[in-house]
A and B are shown apart, each in its own frame.
Chain A
Amino acid sequence: MKNRIKVLRAERDWSQADLAQRLEVSRQSVNAVETGKYDPSLPLAFRIARLFNLKIEEIFIDEVIAGE
């Protein structure tokens, strides 16, 4: 699933490791989510949204809706 995590992270000047620490997951997990290779669990998606102070749908792009 496509997402804006890399952009949001860059805006805050956070490395993947910084974000991983804030989310309490591994850096690999952040990388996998960021590159769209792994879809996060719903709790993790909420944690990401809370951290960036955004709604989930403002971070993760629903490709079905985006394609319409």
Chain B
Amino acid sequence: MPSTQNNQALKRYSRRIGITMGFYCLFLVVAEIYFTHTHSSSVFAYMLALSPALPCILVFMTAIQYLSEEKDGFQSMLFNHSMLWGSAVTLSFSTIWGFLDNFLSLPHFQLYLLFPMFWATTGIAGAVLRLRYR
């Protein structure tokens, strides 16, 4: 992630991510508890099942907003490159797994795991890139 002590865009980004992830945890816990005890296919059940996905989508919006607010071009470039690496790794993995699953009947990969995988690889790529420009 970008690093500047007085970077206001970064501070806003971090705050927004913190709030969004807070809602993600809350929705996930509520959905887990509800579906552990209930087997329903009502409209409410659909909405509850979708609820953890909404903060995940908001995280991408937050990242786009950060890029539009970041005035330090170098930090934007690093963030863009990191996300490109994250996308490349995640899409490559899902494509490889998809073909293996299709032809060799591998266990199904839980698609919701692609989101943390993307951000984990983005984070690793960001750290590696930062080492390069240390």
Chain A interface (Cβ within 8 Å of chain B)?
A: 20-21, 24-29, 31-33, 37-38, 40-41, 44
Contact = CB atoms under 8 A, between A and B. Distances in A.
Contact of A25 (B74, B78, B130, B134): B74
Contacts of A37: 133
A46 to B, nearest CB: 13
Interface in B101-120: none
A33 B77 CA distance: 13
B84 to A, nearest CB: 16
B130 A28 contact: yes
Nearest to B72: A25
B124 to A, nearest CB: 17
A27 B6 CA distance: 11
A27 to B, nearest CB: 8
Contacts of A28: 3, 74-75, 78, 130, 133-134
30 contacts: A20-B4, A21-B6, A24-B6, A24-B71, A25-B4, A25-B72, A25-B75, A26-B2, A26-B3, A26-B4, A26-B7, A26-B72, A27-B4, A28-B3, A28-B74, A28-B75, A28-B78, A28-B130, A28-B133, A28-B134, A29-B74, A31-B133, A31-B134, A32-B74, A32-B133, A33-B74, A37-B133, A38-B74, A38-B77, A41-B73
Contacts of A41: 73
Interface string B69-92: 001111101100000000000000
Nearest to A27: B4
A38 B61 CA distance: 27
A32 to B, nearest CB: 5
Nearest to B130: A28
Nearest to A35: B133
